[in-house]
Amino acid sequence: MVKKVFSGVLLLTVLLMSMAARADTPYQRPTAPKFKSNAVEGYIQSQQQKFNSSELSSLFTRTFPYSLDNTIFQQNVDTASDISSLRTYVVTGADLQAMWLRDSSNQLSPYAFLISKDDRLFKLLVGLANSQAEFVLKDSFANAFIVPNGPQSSHNDDQTYKQYQQAAMKPPVFERKFEPDSLAAVLKLQRVILENTSTQQKQQLLDDIQKNWLLADNVIVELLSAWTGDFDDLSNPSNQYYYYFSRPGANALNTLVNGVGNPSKTTGLVRTVFRPSDDATSLPYNVPVNFMLASELKRLTTQYSLITNIDNQVTPKLIGLSNKILQALKANSIEGSGTSTRYSYELDGFGNRKFMDDGNIPSLLSLPVIAPNLYETNIYQQTRKQILNASTNPYFFDGSDSIQGGVGSPHTGPNRIWPLSLISQAESSADENEIKTLLAALINSSQKNGLIYESYSSSNYQDITRENFAWANAEFANFIIWLIEKHPNIVLKSQ
């Protein structure tokens, strides 16, 4: 159940008073940011005095520009000869100096609504989409890549090219866990760029779409389509879409059974051997990942269909696969009956199912955000109630005393709650009191140094993991921008 839902106009003030007294010295923005956007700085300045809480204003001012300030490892916005030559490389944090496809998309996507006002920011995002496309063309199974002149991989013992009799990974691959949601994140970034460009910017993109994006999109859709196929075929080393991963000495979350994962029966869903957390799946069809794939394939198709003067033979493949996945979700993703009906988290097609949720995104809790209008509302609401209950979700942890309970992850173990899950819970709620409680908890959880982290302890906001988790800061800032649009009375002073 949702822990301690408060009501009344004093909610944020009451819940934030303790934070001010306990906060450590907060993070300060660097004097020499990695990239500076006039539009981002202007937006921050335009909102700072409007927030109804000084703590919220300060946290937004730190989190919204965090990725630009700290994680742009390399970019050529001011020197590229043309749009197609733009390259942007984004690291996931100071602790992990490599580029995750999923993280990098989520780190820069919150700026998309400003790109029509800032051409340099537009080029920065396009450069990231180009770099992602280039990486996908080099290895479409990989989830993370070495940035130019960045640290080499720490996973050189991984055995993941067995069909080539090569044990270690090949540069520029940093990690080669096949996570289909990473490919969905590539499609997402392309989509949000197209949704927010000016007419002139979209015209500038035409050549780039042909040279970079569509080539990668075709590789993505062909790979994902193949991975809806027969397990025995995919486990044959002679299959061009064969994938093998083994990490010597690793626990079950970081390696695959027999190098290829657990068997599955063909359902039309995309096999998912690693989750968004980078953990191995228990059963090889992850439902929220498939929802996100179906959604991004469909939404990118819509954007491409609005561009009439490109030679695009990929769009029919995108929408075709989206429809196939949606049909398979309708037929396979729901378990139980009556008021116990819910979406499974994972399944194998043989009748085995797993119910839980993970604080990472995509998750079952985040379905309204990652797959709007593609899920059954009543089934989702019943699923949501069971996700937010420790008796039905083994990774929901109640908080002690004043600590907000929430969804965690096998990735961080028992009694660790992910702020990402609180954001998903808030963005999927129609109850403003619940949203206010979760917002206050997020602000309180930042007390160690004034940022949003990977996780906090269910008994202590000061006990956190990953101080430099850029994605969480970006997701929080994006949440606040969403609140400004959808629920301004929660975050802004009354006019």
Q: What is the pLDDT of residue 24?
A: 63
Distance, CA of 34 to CA of 32 (rounded, Å): 7
Report the pLDDT value the prediction gives residue 19, as an integer from 0 to 100.
46
Q: Which residues of 280-290 are buried (b: 16+ CB within 10 A; e: fewer)?
A: bbbbbbbbbbb
Q: What's the pLDDT tens digit per position in 64-75? A: 999 999 999 999
Token readout for 72 is: 């742009």
Q: What is the per-residue pLDDT for 14?
A: 46
Q: For strands 285-286 and 460-465, give the pairing.
A: unpaired
- The predicted pLDDT at position 490 comes to 98
Q: What is the pLDDT of residue 308?
A: 77
Q: Give the model's pLDDT for residue 165.
A: 55
Q: What is the pTM of this model?
A: 0.95
Instruction: Enumerate residues 6+ apart whose C-beta is below 8 A from 314.
Output: 214, 217, 218, 221, 304
Which pLDDT does position 328 carry in this prediction?
A: 98
Q: ∠ CA(237), CA(238), CA(241), 5° rounding?
A: 75
What CA dihedral angle connects 181, 184, 190 and 194, to 10 degrees?
-120
| Cβ neighbourhood burial of 302 (10 Å; 0-12, 13-18, 19+) | middle
Closest Cα to residue 227, out of 262, 258, 266, 283? 266
Distance CA 146, CA 58 (A): 33
Instruction: Extract the tokens encoding 426.
Output: 């808030």
* Average pLDDT, rounded, for the chain: 93
DSSP for 381-420? HHHHHHHT-TTT-TTEEPPPTTPPPEE-BTTTBTTEE-HH
> Can you give the pLDDT at residue 170?
82
Domain ranges of the chain: 1-28+397-495, 80-394
pLDDT less than 70: residues of the chain:
1-24, 162-168
Instruction: Tally Cβ neighbours within 10 Å of residue 384.
Output: 22
Mention the CATH class of domain 80-394.
mainly alpha
The whole-number pLDDT of residue 486 equals 97
Exposed/middle/buried for residue 259 (C-beta within 10 Å: 0-12, 13-18, 19+): middle
State the Cα–Cα distance between residues 490 and 176, nearest whole angstrom. Answer: 42
